[in-house]
Structure 1
Amino acid sequence: MSETPSAWIRWPGYIAWFFLAILAISVLVVRSGNWQQGLLLYAIAGLLSALVLAFMAVQSLLPRWRGARMTILKRALPALPGAALLLMATQARDVPPIHDIATDLVDPPVFEEVLRLRGNNSNPLELTEDVVEQQLAAYPDLQTLESPRSYASSYNLALTTARDLGWEIVREDANAGYIEAVDTTAIMQFKDDVVIRVQTNAEGSLIDLRSVSRVGVSDLGANAKRIRSFIAAFKASAEG
């Protein structure tokens, strides 16, 4: 019959499970629409999970608990998700506190159909000078995508690319050259809005994107990442 672990081993493990449950509850709170309260709960659960994980990691290294090292590490596993998510959020703090990213900052693509979906409590869609300056400093690589393909070919490929990325298309207007879509994040179910504009030029066509978060001050780099993913996928398909 195996020996029951010491309370010094059991209780940190129980606490790790408790904070994992709080983490799951915080996601449900965010999905219910109470995103500010949910994110606060999410941050607290992540921070405390990291502390529990650190405590149990140090505990496993102490000579007193050498024989129970594997038991301690196994009981620490529930603290890993919260600690990992906290680490990801900490790494993203280097990005600017903005949530509206565009490849054309002089004449950014405009939303039309998305306007009725955003709701009264969504972030404003005005690109301020301060936001433009922060984007230029943080994401200088985000530029208008130039393609030698014809207008029609670029528009169709842009539409296909958006669908392949899993975006929900809410507007297709080939005559105006606009595509509007909604991208829902996997965990928190945040809805971010995207508009794609395709124009013709002497060499082929120009594709611009704008990606905007509906809520929150900082997007933690998500919108820039989304635009980069689209550009990479578009280029890969165009060259394939």
Structure 2
Amino acid sequence: MSETAPSAGWRLKLAGAALVISILAVLWFAAAALGSKYGLWGWQFGLGKMTIAWGRYVAFLSVGIAVIAFVIAFIKAPRVQPAILSLAALLIALMLLFRLIGFGAQAASLPPIHDIQTDWSDPVRFSEALLAQRKTDAAMNPVQDEPVIPEAANARWPGMGGRLVSEVQEEAENPKMVDGDEVAPAYRRPIEPLYFDQSPGEIASYATRIAEARGWAIFTRPETGEDVQQTMLEATATTGWFGFKDDIAVRIRAVDGATRVDMRSVSRVGLSDLGANARRVSAFMDELADRANGRLEP
């Protein structure tokens, strides 16, 4: 007479429940982002409440239950099935937790600005049509020639409130000394204009193709004729998860026998852009320089 193999019983059920909770935690964060993107709720609720305020509790809960299930799986035989399920639950929960911790660390390391451009001494200005579109879409952030960080930023970034965005951007682009040690800049390199030998019209063609390849919605197409001396590309980029919209302007003009390109990227909402605009400008300008042999001097 054969013996029946022992069952993990409630331990297996606990491990399965832990795995389900971890998967639901992933869906929680996905719902927070996609719900904001598709208008089910505002970004303040999706990002501020569901992700930042409540997300930590969701992540810690899933980690805690997974740890308990993993420990209990080894109390007695059979151990393999409950251990595998609880380990899978733990790995998923830890991935979420570390992602959330990394998000917080990134936010703390970057300045509270959402407006980046290559030359604050001669600001890139958006067209009245795009500014009107921002107003229609209820953009919360104004577009100014000399923006100042709101005093409210002092709550999370002490001493930043009231400072010029241009000064803070410059600091973020360059290394600084802290207690005698050099600290790497927040942005990977300075945000600078580029110069080209080709005409403004030719460079405008390159810029348009790059913008289209990146999936930006073109708002103003630049002129591309041979006689063009100055033109502008305007576009809007939408983030994949939360659906945040950032407006972009690329100014292309003839200067000192060369074609100079300046660029600006501005978020419509939020105090800090988590470095998104700086990364966008740097990546776009790098690709434009690679395609058309750009340089940093006239």
Flag whether TM exceeds 0.5 (same fold): yes
Could you say which residue in structure 1 is the equivalent of 2:131?
Answer: 115
Q: Give the aligned residue type for 1:191.
A: K
Matched, 1:38 2:46: yes
The one of 237, 243, 260 equivalent to 1:183 is: 237
Q: Deviations over 1:58-109 (max 9, x none)?
A: 5587596383432212233553664354144224221101100011111111
Could you say which residue in structure 2 is the equivalent of 1:137?
Answer: 171
Q: Is the 8 A contact 1:139 1:224 kept in 2?
A: no
RMSD between superposed Cα atoms in Å: 2.7
Taking structure 1 as reference, are residues 91 and 148 closer, same or farther at Cα in structure 2, changes over 3 Å only? farther
Taking structure 1 as reference, are residues 157 and 121 closer, same or farther at Cα in structure 2, changes over 3 Å only? closer
Q: Which structure would you say has the larger Rg?
A: 2
The one of 89, 111, 115 equivalent to 1:75 is: 89
Alignment of 1:224-235 (within 5 A): 224-235=278-289
Could you say which residue in structure 1 is the equivalent of 2:206?
Answer: 157
Could you say which residue in structure 2 is the equivalent of 1:65?
Answer: 74
Q: Deviations over 1:180-232 (max 9, x none)?
A: 00001011111110000001122411100000000111000000000011011
Taking structure 1 as reference, are residues 88 and 192 closer, same or farther at Cα in structure 2, changes over 3 Å only? farther
Greater CA drift, 51-60 or 198-207: 51-60
Query: What is the CA-CA distance between 1:239 and the residue it aligns to?
Result: 4.1
The share of aligned pairs that are identical, in percent, is 30
Q: Is the 8 A contact 1:49 1:80 kept in 2?
A: no
Q: Is the 8 A contact 2:216 2:238 kept in 1?
A: yes
Q: Secondary structure at the match of 1:132?
A: helix
Q: Is the 8 A contact 2:18 2:66 kept in 1?
A: no
CA–CA separation in structure 2 for the residues paired with 1:84 and 1:202: 50
Matched, 1:89 2:103: yes
- Structure-2-length-normalised TM-score: 0.71
What is the aligned length? 240
Could you say which residue in structure 2 is the equivalent of 1:128?
Answer: 147
- Structure-1-length-normalised TM-score: 0.86
Greater CA drift, 71-80 or 23-32: 71-80
Unaligned regions of 5+ residues in structure 1, if any? Answer: none
CA–CA separation in structure 1 for the residues paired with 2:94 and 2:192: 38
Q: Which has the higher helix share?
A: 1
Q: Give the aligned residue type for 2:143.
A: L
